[in-house]
Amino acid sequence: MSDKQYYYSGYVNALDAEELGKADKKTQIDIMREWFLNNYENPAENTPYESAEGGYIYIWGGPYDADEVLNEEFLGIIEEETINELVKELENDSFEWAPIPRGDSFDDYYSLAVSSNTSYHETFYRTIDDISALLDKCDDPGLIQIYYKMLHVQIITALETYLSDAFINTVMDNKVLIRKFVETNPDFQKKKLKLVDIFSRIEKIDDEIMEYLLKTLWHNLAKVKNMYKDTLDIIFTFDISNIARAIAFRHDVVHRGGKDKDGNVRTIIDIELIALMKEVKELIDSIDSQLKKSTYYYEKTEPDVIY
């Protein structure tokens, strides 16, 4: 059975293939859905369309079939009947799917954005303050749900931005932390290395780590909290289950127009947004306080360290 780990933004902990196979049907479908939508999208999102050519031009590969992709990834872990249930749901959106574009130009842009944000705590609070100021700016009852859902997405985005920028800037500036990250990260532990390649691999290790971090899904708190603990000795000190549920709701807003998997429209009120901002601020403040107390925060480089 595969040794992969599967994450769902609504759950605190990741599941390996064996655990996923034993999970209840709802959990299995939630995880498969998020895995699929993190890798594939409706071609209407980004794929060029040319009417003269008869439709979409799949410049990034595809088109892909949800049935084929999901069975290739999950058959043998999850029952075919359960996989087919999700396939039918996805086919209500599209029968053809394109890979989500991830190219050098995107990575270069993202890398520059991350490295330029060294005041990540201040950036987070500016965003949260702006969201707070916007809470009572919509007085149209017909638009209020769309408005609140947009603010909800921005709260989660502010959380993700802090988690990524704080971690990447701290780790990539410190050779001790780069080595610690590689040695404790489960994905890097599985990578193969021939002895003849060791020196060329060392020369490129920073780029390999940066590429991995740029492609990390920072809303997967189960994975991210382990990265913070194993690399930076920073503990997520209180229950994050409410934030995890809010991330799952954000997923429904972004990918399903605010509907749950059964097609029911989900709603949100201002009090819930205020409570979410409070919890997210508490989490970020706790992380930031631990980070600033660590020697890593001040020691940006470590001379004569071999990794």
Indicate whether 33 and 53 sit together in one domain. yes
Whether 304 is covered by a domain: the verdict is: no
Whether 283 is covered by a domain: the verdict is: yes
Indicate whether 130 and 15 sit together in one domain. no
Indicate whether 93 and 126 sit together in one domain. no
Report how many domains make up the chain. Answer: 2
Give me the pLDDT at residue 260, please: 74
State whether residue 303 is helix, strand or coil.
coil
The tens digit of pLDDT for each residue in 228-239 reads: 999 999 999 888
Higher local confidence (pLDDT), 48 or 235? 235
The neighbour count for residue 66, using CB atoms within 10 Å, is 22
The tens digit of pLDDT for each residue in 236-257 reads: 988 888 998 999 888 888 777 7
Higher local confidence (pLDDT), 133 or 48? 133
Cα radius of gyration rounded to whole Å, the chain: 21
Indicate whether 92 and 108 sit together in one domain. no
Dist. CA 307–CA 305, nearest whole Å = 6
Whether 145 is covered by a domain: the verdict is: yes
Indicate whether 66 and 175 sit together in one domain. no
- What's the mean pLDDT in 162-190? 87
Dist. CA 278–CA 269, nearest whole Å = 15
Dist. CA 114–CA 190, nearest whole Å = 27
Domain boundary among 99, 134, 150: 99
Indicate whether 227 and 268 sit together in one domain. yes
The DSSP call for residue 191 is -
The DSSP call for residue 75 is B
Whether 255 is covered by a domain: the verdict is: yes
Q: Are 100 and 39 in contact (CB under 8 A)?
A: yes
Whether 305 is covered by a domain: the verdict is: no
Indicate whether 109 and 82 sit together in one domain. no
Indicate whether 201 and 230 sit together in one domain. yes
Residue entry with tokens 């947009």: 150
User: Could you tell me what percent of the chain has a pLDDT over 70?
Assistant: 80
Whether 39 is covered by a domain: the verdict is: yes
Range of the domain at 22: 5-99
Give me the pLDDT at residue 93, please: 82
Structure tokens at 223: 């994975």
Whether 40 is covered by a domain: the verdict is: yes
Whether 230 is covered by a domain: the verdict is: yes
Give me the pLDDT at residue 305, please: 46
Dist. CA 139–CA 215, nearest whole Å = 38
Domain boundary among 99, 127, 152: 99
The tens digit of pLDDT for each residue in 199-217 reads: 666 666 777 788 888 778 8
Indicate whether 108 and 152 sit together in one domain. yes
pLDDT band for 133, please (50, 70, 90 cuts).
Answer: very high
Domain boundary among 99, 121, 145: 99
To the nearest 10°, report the CA torsion of 288, 294, 298, 302. Answer: -130
Q: How many residues does the chain have?
A: 307
Indicate whether 199 and 277 sit together in one domain. yes
Indicate whether 117 and 172 sit together in one domain. yes
Indicate whether 201 and 283 sit together in one domain. yes
Q: pTM of this prediction? A: 0.63
